Structure 1
Amino acid sequence: MLQCYANVKDMQLAYRIDAALNTGNNIQLLGDGYKEGLYYTHFLRLLCMFEQIDTIMEQYERVTPHAYTPTFTALDDLLQAIDLNDGYKYLPQIWSDLVLFEYARREDLVEHLLTIMAKKKQDQQLQDLFMQIAANVKEKFDEDAKNARLMRPLVLTGRMIGALVLINLNGGDFNKAWEFFDIYLKNKNQINGLPSEVSLVSLCEQCLEAQNVNKCLDTLTAMSDFAYPKLDEMAEKVTAKLSLTQEQRFALYCH
């Protein structure tokens, strides 16, 4: 299967090999669990290159978790395939597997997952699941922050925070969205990366709708710190729609 993935890249040949391997006791030809894991990793990564997402997930579910513990690279490829094929409905399952296989503290995988979740608003049932995952991420972050003995605690990046903001805004929960942005405000000197411009613009729009001047200024300050292009446009909206004190106007335009 390694040759199929690395050199030949022939999906039909891979299916024939897999069918032969799963006939009778042929699976024993793989040897130990390590070699079996390598086999399924290459098979899954090949599937992610060529197949539609429903087919990929059917094969993934066939072997996971009873026969195969997915590797980091296989899960990353799977997330990319989900992203490319609009397979948003599978994201809650992938989060469950990240938790099951103890990848839920790998910020690179979690960031990839959350970034896909934040791309668009889903139907309310799926969006509610996304929001629950966002809440689970915050729970893990809060728990890890209290445990100094953890070798690898969950770390929130700026990009993750932006995605978490959008997930909650898409679900209609401004307060939860602001909780995540507040984590950034309180820890920005320790956080790597930036919340996306679209997350800050969306958050500022909601602050504007709620006529919350101070929160508008907080989001605009962050946009200014990152030199985001839409800063001036959003500042003009805030000025036009809200009554600002002289001090607030000064704070707005000194950016």
Structure 2
Amino acid sequence: MNELMGKKFSPQDPDDDMFFQSAMRVCSSLKDLELAYQVHGLLNTGDNWKFIGPSHRRNFYYSKFFSLLCLMEQIDVTLKWYKDLIPSVFFPHSQALIDLLRALDVANRLEVIPQIWKDSKEYGHTFRSNLKEEILMLMARDQHPPELQVAFADCAADIKSTYESQDARQTAPDWPTGSLNCIAVLFLRAGRAQEAWKMLGLFKKHNKIPRNELLNEFMDNAKASNSPAQAIEIVRLASAFSLPVCEGLAQRVMTDFAISQEQKEALGHLTASASDSDSDSSSDSDGDINEGK
């Protein structure tokens, strides 16, 4: 590169338009950002940009360059490149946007995520499950200030609508379990409890099992609103899925709420049902083991 810097090239061989693609592949493999900047500087010298080749090679070059920026550059610099390159120079594939999301995570700049989701839709990635799951996971992983939680919940609601439109288009739609959990918890944390509770119906509809952490957040919400009926509904859901957490949730209801004798009896039936299901499952497993001997 020291010998090539500043030079202008003219075509000599039909494969000359593969040079920049190959050079940036090497930079990416070596994880050498400084070398990548040198290659990019050479590309922008004179008319050397003409050697970048057809659109698929141009996209490969810029995807490698941008992913390296996401991995190794300061986040403010990376975001400037994002604005300069996308979409005016190339349209990113979903992995390039996931790389950017992870860079935002490392730099603790998650407030940018809703804008990245908005951009993603414009770039044709509305139904990219891996991208949506990454966005939801990053937003739901930790608690955030109220204003950011509101923005995240709005983003989650928009992503939820894309799954619903997929439901309408597919004969056998599938909601990822992680997405259901994340959307529900984001609604809860933003004070959108009614929408969050509706998400529980989707777990039943799609036969997905909610995480223990989500059920405990719902229990926290029921406690904050002093609603033993909602708390018992959480236990009922855990019992329906025969979750081991059912007994612990029932104990929370007994401890945190003033409940009637009728409600106590209902809790007893729910925990007994969950225990019976666990026992049946264990017996079935033992039988399978014995048959295999």
Greater alpha carbon shift after TM alignment, 160-169 vs 179-188: 179-188
| Corresponding position of 1:241 | 256
Measure how far apart 1:88 and its partner are: 0.6
Q: Which runs of 5+ in 1 are unaligned?
A: none
The corresponding residue for 1:25 is 47
How far has the Cα of 1:40 moved from its partner?
Answer: 0.9
- Normalised to the residue count of structure 1, the TM-score between the two structures is 0.85
Q: Deviations over 1:109-146 (max 9, x none)?
A: 10111010112333343322212112212222233322
**Aligned mates of 1:113, 1:43 — CA distance in 2:** 22
Kindly report which structure 2 residues correspond to 1:222-237, keeping only aligned pairs within 5 A, or say none.
Answer: 222-223=237-238, 225=241, 227=243, 231-237=246-252
Match of 2:205 in 1: 186
Question: Mean Cα displacement is larger for which, 244-253 or 55-64?
Answer: 244-253
**Structure 2: tracts of 5 or more residues without a match:** 1-23, 275-293
Contact 1:217 1:252 in 2 (8 A): no
- Taking structure 1 as reference, are residues 175 and 17 closer, same or farther at Cα in structure 2, changes over 3 Å only? same
Matched, 1:174 2:193: yes
Q: Which residue in the other structure is 2:56 paired with?
A: 34
* Partner residue of 1:112 out of 115, 129, 134: 134
1:62 to 81, 84, 87: 84
Contact 1:162–1:181 (CA under 8 A) maintained in structure 2: no
- Selected match of 2:66 from 44, 64, 82: 44
Aligned to 1:164: 183
Residue equivalent to 1:3: 26
1:73 maps to 95
- In 2: Cα distance, 1:231 partner to 1:20 partner: 63
- 1:220 and 2:235 aligned: yes
Per-residue CA deviations over 1:199-247 (Å, capped at 9, x if unaligned) read 221112112333434432443355563746x554433111122312412
Aligned residues: CA RMSD: 2.4
The match for 1:98 is 120
How many pairs does the alignment contain?
246
Aligned-pair CA distance for 1:168? 1.3
The list of structure 1 runs, each at least 4 consecutive aligned residues, that deviate by more than 4 angstroms after superposition, is: 221-224
Classify 1:52/1:177 alpha carbon distance in 2 versus 1 (closer, same or farther; 3 Å). farther
- Aligned residue for 2:169, secondary structure, equals coil
- Opposite residue 26 of structure 2, the aligned amino acid is Q
AA at the equivalent of 1:5: S
SS in 2 for 1:141: helix
Q: Deviations over 1:39-90 (max 9, x none)?
A: 1111111122212322222212210011111122222222222222222122
Bigger radius of gyration among the two:
2
Contact 2:95 2:131 in 1 (8 A): no
Amino acid in the other structure paired with 2:53: G
Task: Name the CA distance, whole Å, in 1 between partners of 2:35 and 2:95.
Answer: 22
- Paired letter, 1:238: V
Cα 1:183/1:3, change in 2 over 3 Å: same
